[in-house]
Structure 1
Amino acid sequence: MTTADVRPATLDDVPEIARIQLVTWRTAYGDALGPSVVDALTTDEVAARWSEAITHPDTTVYVATEGRFTVGFCVAGAAPETEVAAADGSLPEDAARTGLIGSLLVEPRWGRRGHGGRLLATATAGLREHGAERGIAWVMQSDSASLAFYRSVGWDPDGTVRTLDTGERTIKEIRLTGTLDLRLEDPATVESA
């Protein structure tokens, strides 16, 4: 039986994280973002951003593995005020105790094997250890699989929507929020994002 695990990422993981992001974005988000936007991303550019994220003192990047393969990743940290603010710019009382799941991706060929659930459970446990009490994540309104994934663990839209301009298209993102105290009976049964 192959072992599935989640662990903090190291700089040695950067090439695989960059590869997974590029493959996943091309497969799942190319139409939404615009083909030229995704095609313009280079491996070196994406890898440089992940190197910065891994070494940044306020974030933790996790990787999901199955056997010897890296199959997904997640980045989590304290939510910046701009991410947790209401549409009118006001901050909730718990702004300083809110964590952000900045990205959670599982390579499509490794989906539906519990990797997304394990990544989120590990990331939320890490956020709790750093004093966060609630989490948020932004998901494209058109990404029904990711929306269903977050809803399956009890995270729901909080009514805040933002529009991003990719240069080729505009996309709407919905902010989801939920508890960091995930009680997954068996993380392997939670569908991967």
Structure 2
Amino acid sequence: MIERAALADSCRLALPAEAERIAAVQRRSWAQLFPSDVADHVLASVDLATMAASWQAAILRPPLATFRVMVALSEGRVVAFAAIGPSDDEDAHPGEDALVAEFVVDPPAQRQGHGSRLLNAVADTLRADGFTRATWWVRSTDDPLRRFLVSAGWGPDGAHRTVGSEDAAATVKMIRMHTALG
């Protein structure tokens, strides 16, 4: 009997057919990462099909070529994703500053190297697109993510903000991390 070769773990640009899997990973991460009141509010406000349609549109019709959705695969399945592009921060330098807008590793796939592999692929892609600095807004209470980023050469740049629902029923404090891509 011939054994089927195991699929190597890898990272690449996302395919439109992966939009639903990306949305499912994102929903599971919200339930894990956010305080329960925030997670409940956000999950109740949008369903899986709507999220999948948004991800498919982002993959198929990005506003610029430098807006990208990337995935990490394990055994051919999406286990993590990132959405990257030019930074839209007021103090960003156009053409130089990039933003990691989303970066999620599926909770059951965490601590298996997928996040590190995806982060390296993100940095390589941003560098290839001509960016010299990347920024990332991180929840102020997400100590594991901040430790991961610091170990990869990122650091806080002093910027902070609070984001939340329109009715301010759920808010999250964020700090901005950054790294040089050169």
Indicate the TM-score class for this superposition, using the shorter chain for normalisation.
Answer: 0.7 to 0.9
Which residue does 1:162 correspond to in 2? 161
Which residue does 1:113 correspond to in 2? 112
Say which of 13, 24, 32 aligns to 1:8: 13
* Pair 1:49–1:30, CA change in 2 (3 A): farther
Question: Which runs of no fewer than 5 residues in structure 2 stay unpaired?
Answer: 1-5
Q: Are 2:88 and 1:76 equivalent residues in the alignment?
A: no
Which residue does 1:185 correspond to in 2? none
Question: Which runs of no fewer than 5 residues in structure 1 stay unpaired?
Answer: 86-90, 182-193
Q: Are 2:165 and 1:137 equivalent residues in the alignment?
A: no
Q: Distance in 2 between matches of 1:43 and 1:102?
A: 19
RMSD: 1.7
Identity of aligned residues (%): 28
Contact kept, 8 Å, 1:134 with 1:180, in 2: the verdict is yes
Contact kept, 8 Å, 2:31 with 2:39, in 1: the verdict is no
TM-score of the superposition, structure 1-length normalised? 0.82
Which residue does 1:184 correspond to in 2? none
Map 1:1-193 onto structure 2 (within 5 A): 3-31=8-36, 33-55=38-60, 56=62, 57=64, 58-80=66-88, 83=89, 85=90, 91=91, 94-166=93-165, 167-181=168-182
Report how far residue 144 of structure 1 moved: 1.4
Which residue does 2:3 correspond to in 1? none
Report how far residue 34 of structure 1 moved: 4.4
Deviations 1:22-75 (A, max 9, x none): 111112224262422223320112112212221203311111111132101011
Question: Looking at both structures, which has the greater relative contact order when contacts are Cα pairs under 8 Å and sequence separation is at least 6?
Answer: 1
Contact kept, 8 Å, 2:14 with 2:59, in 1: the verdict is yes
SS at match of 2:84: strand
Deviations 1:115-162 (A, max 9, x none): 111111111111111110010000111111211111111111100001
Q: Distance in 1 between matches of 2:114 and 2:39?
A: 27
Report how far residue 2 of structure 1 moved: 5.8
SS at match of 2:50: helix
Contact kept, 8 Å, 1:37 with 1:168, in 2: the verdict is no
Aligned residue type for 1:54: I
Contact kept, 8 Å, 2:86 with 2:94, in 1: the verdict is no
Give the 4+ runs in structure 1 shifted more than 3 A: none
